[in-house]
């Protein structure tokens, strides 16, 4: 009876890892800093190369017959809309004796309601003198149009009241005539009719007086509107400060460029899916991070720390090569120069104990083609790897970048240390590297991370990888036993996740 077991599925990864996103965007600071700088320069250039046209400004106090303390600005918004009409524009152009079309002139000015009764008019032109003249003509045209409309409204209202008064007077004349036609001595019924006629005459007289008063009030309201609507701020040219405009536009460009740069960096990070954290690189490669080195020496006060880290890594790898009966290789991904330096440092550390040979499997023979200095270890090209004598230590240097000849990696070393630059390879390619090395039976005993993020606090250790990790070297079986076991043991979890089928382990 056989039992079926399946490995536990790993915890579902979040749809968007904010920590990795922030780190990746911060690492691409050159992009968004460059975009911010370009935006800053573009804003300053716009202010210098495209200065605003000459302009003028004036303010008009507008009185309304319907002014109320609780007005929400409806009347002044109506005045702004009236200002942007061909009627007012045509009146202003006629006073200027300009052949320009009102539709074209309307594009050169705008009105702004500052308060319920204060209207600001801004006008642009080819010269400051022309702008001031246009602003004055436009303000005069608006005042004339507003006063004319108010007068017409008052006249229409007064005429309507007077017409109604005249109709009431005609009715009063009919009532007076009816009263005069009544006989002096009449019966009680006739007396009641006479009383109603007298009451009707009194009511009509009151209505006539009311119409006269309302018509007079309507005519009286127009002078206050005429006197209240006037230009309170004479038209004047608006002075533009080039330094102030340049600083303002440059600041706006800086902010916009920074936002665009951050957006591009974030989108590029999500699309490219290039791991930068220790935990992600270790998980994708299926090996622990054993050391970290900066890509460059860095600042003056950081060089000593970098030198100590290099010496520590050199000593660690030298002990690994010295204590291993199998050749060890260094395979790079995005950091060929750093890998070459590490290999040469390890070879120099081992040269005092015996012969050491470095096999250069990098594209272009970067190591074997260089000029050797006195005391440097022997460096041979990858084509001569099989001709190297078996005595002494062998250190292979190769690449796992796209285009790698995977079957040639076993000639560089039967176990390897990956030297990976953070953020260089995509997650899919890191999986490919892990699968290809597993197919070639080349265990990865550790990962050296180049150019790590200094604020990365994640753990780059795989605690279930003792069979290949450097910390489990004391428990590692010999080569022959390991070869026999590989044929029966299942793939590690990181390799099983990338399998091409859905078979169960039975």
Tens of pLDDT, residue by residue over 274-310, are 888 888 899 999 899 998 888 776 666 677 888 888 8
Q: What are phi and psi of 505, to 5 degrees?
A: -85, 120
Residue pLDDT, tens place only, 191-237 = 777 778 788 888 888 888 888 888 877 776 677 778 888 999 999 99
- Model confidence band, residue 13 (pLDDT cutoffs 50, 70, 90): low
The distance in angstroms from the start CA to the end CA of the chain is 11
Beta partners for residue 395, in sequence order:
328, 358
Helix (H) or strand (E) holding 202: helix 188-228
Record: fold of 276-496: Rossmann fold (3.40.50)
Beta partners for residue 121, in sequence order:
58, 111
- Going 460 to 412 to 395 to 295, the CA torsion angle's sign is negative
- Model confidence band, residue 34 (pLDDT cutoffs 50, 70, 90): very high
Q: Torsion angle, CA of 329/334/340/341, rounded to 10 degrees?
A: -120
CA–CA distance from 123 to each of 58, 72, 88 (Å)?
9, 26, 14
From 488, 486, 449, select the one nearest 468 (Cα to Cα): 486
Q: What percentage of residues in the chain have a pLDDT greater than 70?
A: 81
Residue with tokens 């991370």: 449
Strand order in the sheet with 55-61: 109-113, 118-124, 55-61, 230-237
Residue pLDDT, tens place only, 417-470 = 999 999 888 999 999 999 999 999 999 999 999 988 888 888 888 876 555 555
- Going 137 to 140 to 144 to 147, the CA torsion angle's sign is positive
Q: Of 98-112, 209-223, 311-325, 326-340, where does mean pLDDT reach its minimum?
A: 209-223
CA–CA distance from 99 to each of 56, 105, 357 (Å)?
21, 10, 92
Q: What is the length of the chain?
A: 506
- The packing angle between helices 427-439 and 278-285, to 10°, is 40
Contacts of residue 325, defined as CB under 8 A and 6 or more positions apart, other chains included, come to: 478, 479
Record: fold of 55-239: Bacterial polysaccharide co-polymerase-like (3.30.1890)
CA–CA distance from 443 to each of 130, 264, 485 (Å)?
83, 38, 13
CA–CA distance from 21 to each of 10, 269, 386 (Å)?
21, 7, 45
Domain boundaries, the chain: 18-51+243-271, 55-239, 276-496
From 448, 428, 416, select the one nearest 342 (Cα to Cα): 448
By the 10 Å C-beta count (0-12 exposed, 13-18 middle, 19+ buried), 42 is classed as middle
pLDDT above 90 for 190: no
Question: Which pLDDT value is given to residue 300?
Answer: 66
The DSSP annotation for 369-419 comes to TSPPPTTPPEEEEGGGGGGS-SSSEEEEEEE-STT--GGGGGGT-SEEEEE
Question: Which pLDDT value is given to residue 420?
Answer: 94
**What long-range pairs does 371-375 form, CB within 8 A, spacing at least 24?**
375/348, 375/351
Judge contact between 468 and 445, C-beta under 8 A.
yes
Paired sense of beta strands 118-124 and 109-113, if any: antiparallel
From 113, 119, 114, 116, select the one nearest 139 (Cα to Cα): 119
- Going 219 to 223 to 228 to 230, the CA torsion angle's sign is positive
Residue pLDDT, tens place only, 367-418 = 766 666 666 777 887 666 565 655 678 888 999 999 888 988 888 888 999 9
Question: Which pLDDT value is given to residue 186?
Answer: 58
């Amino acid at each position: 009876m056989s039992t079926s077991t399946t490995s536990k599925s790993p915890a579902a990864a979040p749809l968007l890892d904010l920590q990795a996103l922030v780190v990746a965007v911060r690492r691409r600071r050159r992009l968004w800093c460059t975009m911010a700088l370009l935006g800053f320069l573009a804003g300053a250039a716009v202010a210098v190369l495209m200065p605003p046209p000459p302009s003028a400004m004036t303010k008009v106090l507008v009185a309304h017959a319907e002014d109320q303390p609780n007005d929400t600005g409806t009347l002044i918004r109506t005045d702004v809309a009236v200002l942007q009409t061909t009627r007012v524009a045509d009146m202003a152009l006629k006073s200027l004796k300009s052949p320009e079309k009102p539709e074209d002139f309307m594009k050169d000015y705008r009105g702004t309601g500052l308060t319920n009764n204060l209207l600001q008019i801004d006008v642009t032109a080819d010269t400051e003198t022309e702008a001031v003249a246009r602003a004055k003509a436009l303000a005069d045209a608006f005042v004339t149009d507003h006063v004319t409309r108010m007068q017409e409204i008052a006249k229409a209202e007064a005429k309507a009241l007077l017409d109604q008064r005249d109709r009431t007077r005609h009715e009063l004349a009919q009532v007076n005539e009816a009263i005069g036609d009544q006989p002096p001595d009449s019966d009680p019924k006739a007396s009641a009719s006479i009383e109603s006629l007298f009451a009707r005459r009194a009511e009509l007289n009151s209505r006539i007086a009311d119409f006269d008063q309302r018509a007079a009030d309507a005519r009286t309201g127009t002078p206050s509107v005429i006197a209240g609507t006037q230009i309170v701020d004479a038209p004047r040219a608006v002075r533009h400060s080039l330094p102030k405009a340049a600083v303002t536009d440059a600041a706006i460009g800086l902010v916009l460029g920074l936002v665009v740069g951050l957006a591009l960096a974030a989108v590029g990070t999500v699309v490219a899916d290039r791991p930068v954290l220790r935990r992600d690189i270790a998980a994708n490669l299926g090996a622990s991070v054993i050391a970290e080195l900066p890509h460059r020496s860095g600042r003056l006060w950081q060089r000593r720390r970098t030198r100590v880290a290099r010496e520590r890594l050199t000593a660690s790898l030298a002990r690994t090569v010295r204590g291993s009966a199998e050749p060890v290789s260094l395979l790079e991904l995005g950091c060929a120069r750093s890998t070459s330096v590490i290999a040469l440092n390890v070879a120099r550390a081992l040269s005092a104990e015996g012969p050491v040979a470095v096999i250069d499997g990098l594209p272009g023979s970067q190591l074997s083609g260089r000029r050797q200095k006195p005391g440097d270890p022997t460096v041979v090209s990858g084509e001569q790897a099989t001709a190297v004598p078996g005595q002494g230590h062998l250190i292979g240097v190769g690449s796992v970048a796209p285009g790698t000849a995977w079957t040639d990696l076993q000639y560089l070393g039967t176990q390897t240390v990956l030297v990976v630059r953070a953020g260089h390879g995509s997650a899919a390619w890191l999986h490919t590297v892990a699968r290809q090395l597993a197919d070639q039976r080349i265990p990865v005993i550790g990962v050296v991370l180049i150019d790590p993020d200094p604020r990365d606090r994640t753990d780059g250790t795989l605690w279930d990888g003792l069979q290949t990790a450097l910390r489990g070297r004391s428990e590692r079986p010999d080569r022959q036993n390991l070869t026999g076991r590989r044929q029966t043991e299942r793939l590690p979890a990181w390799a099983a996740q990338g399998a091409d089928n859905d078979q169960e382990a039975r």
